């Protein structure tokens, strides 16, 4: 069993030694006590602070290949004219290298776990496994209200579940119905039953635009959350991405049914989908709210530190309240709340918790002066401050270096240009 000793790292302002044994934190000892411990690997924590690894609760990893490709467009035009036509021609190799690039970017900015919904999920799962990250991966599901397509989706879902163990315990199988305007109610109900029977999470885009809400009322006679409630698919297994357009009654429905929500401030603002995300109202109701970046085609990066800043600033701005959505609250969303959504014992630096950690370089202008570390992290820093990343007791990056980085960058760039030219 491999052991790692991080010496003299700042933990909540206290110089500490953290001893990792296997996949978990075994001991946390104030450095002043100077307890001698032997380890297989020693990391110098001087001038660094330790954080739980970030949990990105919503992204589409392989869309790194579309970074900067379809900017400054409306959501519907972006999807229908640029994204969907190109995605339809993507190969497993395209998605594998796009996901590899995403994993590289996430490690560099301190993310150790991500939730993904995309085509050919096996390619994303393989990339995440090779890079050493935790991931909840789902294949995006569209039945477009066709019974024939729905039958094919059910068969494909069952097949994927049966072969999924080849990716190991770090890469969890999940279900990814795209949205209520691309997936029938019958399919949503089948997915809900399948998830319950097979202990899976469900990822779903919901209430992302006013257009979606208007169409839901026109097509189903109900707003999106009420429609899901009528279908009987609201449950603790459900993770909603966006959920911008919900009223107080709908927030209560989500809370009463244990539904989780992923807030994606960057893509919401860039696509002008909306900005009045009810972060405070949801948390007060008891909803677990995580933070996500969405895909790089709509947010342009996977930096969770930037996502925290955007979430805090926009939460204050639309309320005209500088005390709303504090740095501590968004830090909680990016770490502890995200960990709660995974159902794993992580998101906290404590003995017995999984060793999913990142070290922050304090020798940076963003942390001088250091009146409030979390405030500096959220409002002044960005992902470049991350020095070292550990996931499940394995070192993925140390001193800003990741094995194989140059190959990933070269391959992903070549793949992206070939993809656009091919299409």
Listed residue (330, 255, 252) closest to 288, CA to CA: 255
> What is the model's pLDDT at position 76?
80
With beta carbons less than 8 A apart as the criterion, state whether 391 and 112 touch: yes
Segment 24-48, tens digit of pLDDT: 999 999 988 877 889 999 999 999 9
Distances (CA, A) of 393 to 16, 98, 346: 18, 25, 12
Q: What CATH number is associated with residue 383?
A: 2.30.40.10
Segment 163-205, tens digit of pLDDT: 999 999 999 999 999 999 999 999 999 999 999 999 999 999 9
Residues 145 and 233 placed together within one structural domain of the fold = yes
Q: What average pLDDT does the segment 107-125 reach? A: 97
Tokens of 310: 């955007």
Residues 44 and 61 placed together within one structural domain of the fold = no
Residues 205 and 319 placed together within one structural domain of the fold = yes
Residues 265 and 388 placed together within one structural domain of the fold = no
Residues 358 and 271 placed together within one structural domain of the fold = no
Segment 226-257, tens digit of pLDDT: 999 999 999 999 999 999 999 999 999 999 99
Tokens of 189: 């109900």
Q: What CATH number is associated with residue 150?
A: 3.20.20.140
Gap between the Cα atoms of 124 and 244, Å rounded? 28
With beta carbons less than 8 A apart as the criterion, state whether 130 and 402 touch: no
Q: Is residue 422 part of a domain?
A: no
Q: Is residue 337 part of a domain?
A: yes
Choose the final residue of a domain: 342, 365, 392.
Answer: 342
203 CB-near residues (< 8 Å, 6+ apart): 58, 115, 117, 136, 138, 174, 175, 176, 177, 239, 241
Residues 280 and 251 placed together within one structural domain of the fold = yes
Q: Is residue 36 part of a domain?
A: yes
Segment 156-173, tens digit of pLDDT: 999 999 999 999 999 999
Residue 423 has pLDDT above 70, yes or no: no
Q: Is residue 172 part of a domain?
A: yes
Residues 69 and 37 placed together within one structural domain of the fold = no
Count structural domains, the chain.
2
Q: Are strands 3-11 and 41-44 parallel, antiparallel or unpaired?
A: parallel
Residues 241 and 210 placed together within one structural domain of the fold = yes
Residues 28 and 158 placed together within one structural domain of the fold = no
Residues 44 and 191 placed together within one structural domain of the fold = no
With beta carbons less than 8 A apart as the criterion, state whether 82 and 44 touch: no
Q: Is residue 414 part of a domain?
A: no
Structural domain containing residue 204: 54-342
Secondary structure letter of residue 53 according to DSSP: P
Q: Is residue 418 part of a domain?
A: no
Residue 70 has pLDDT above 90, yes or no: no
Q: Give the whole-number percent of the chain exceeding pLDDT 70.
A: 100
pLDDT band at 1 (very low <50, low <70, confident <90, very high): confident
Residues 63 and 147 placed together within one structural domain of the fold = yes
């Amino acid at each position: 069993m491999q052991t790692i000793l991080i010496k003299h790292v700042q933990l909540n302002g206290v110089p500490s030694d953290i001893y990792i044994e296997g996949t978990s934190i075994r001991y946390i000892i104030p450095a002043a006590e100077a307890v001698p411990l032997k380890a297989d690997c020693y990391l110098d924590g001087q001038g660094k602070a330790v954080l739980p690894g970030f949990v990105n609760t919503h992204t589409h990893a392989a869309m790194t290949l579309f970074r900067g490709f379809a900017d400054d467009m409306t959501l519907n035009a972006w999807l229908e004219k640029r994204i969907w036509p190109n995605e339809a021609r993507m190969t497993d190799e395209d998605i594998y290298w796009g996901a590899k690039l995403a994993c590289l970017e996430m490690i560099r900015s301190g993310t150790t776990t991500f939730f993904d919904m995309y085509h050919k999920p096996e390619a994303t799962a393989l990339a995440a496994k090779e890079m050493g990250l935790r991931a909840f991966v789902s294949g995006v599901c569209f039945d477009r209200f066709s019974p024939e397509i729905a039958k094919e989706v059910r068969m494909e879902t069952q097949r994927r579940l049966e072969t999924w163990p080849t990716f190991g315990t770090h890469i969890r199988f999940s279900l990814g119905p795209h949205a209520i305007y691309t997936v029938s109610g019958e399919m949503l109900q089948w997915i809900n039953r399948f998830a319950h029977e097979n202990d899976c999470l469900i990822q779903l885009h919901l209430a992302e635009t006013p257009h979606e809400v208007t169409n839901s009322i026109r097509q189903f006679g109900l707003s999106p959350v009420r429609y899901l409630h009528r279908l009987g698919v609201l449950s603790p297994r459900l993770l909603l991405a966006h959920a911008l357009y919900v009223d107080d009654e709908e927030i209560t429905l989500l809370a009463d049914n244990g539904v989780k929500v992923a807030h994606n401030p960057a893509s919401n603002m860039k696509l002008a989908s909306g900005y009045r995300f009810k972060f405070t109202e949801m948390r007060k109701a008891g909803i677990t709210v995580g933070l996500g970046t969405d895909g790089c085609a709509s947010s342009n990066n996977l930096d969770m530190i930037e996502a925290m800043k955007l979430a805090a600033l926009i939460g204050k701005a639309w309320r005209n309240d500088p005390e709303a959505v504090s740095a501590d609250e968004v830090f909680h969303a990016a770490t502890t709340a995200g960990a709660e959504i995974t159902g794993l014992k992580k998101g906290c630096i404590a003995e017995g918790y999984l060793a999913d950690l990142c070290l922050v370089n304090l020798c940076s202008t963003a942390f001088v002066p250091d009146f409030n570390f979390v405030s500096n992290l959220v409002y002044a820093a960005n992902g470049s401050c991350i020095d070292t990343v550990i996931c499940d007791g394995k070192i993925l990056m140390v001193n800003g270096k990741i094995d194989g980085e140059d190959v990933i960058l070269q391959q992903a760039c070549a793949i992206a240009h070939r993809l656009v030219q091919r299409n």
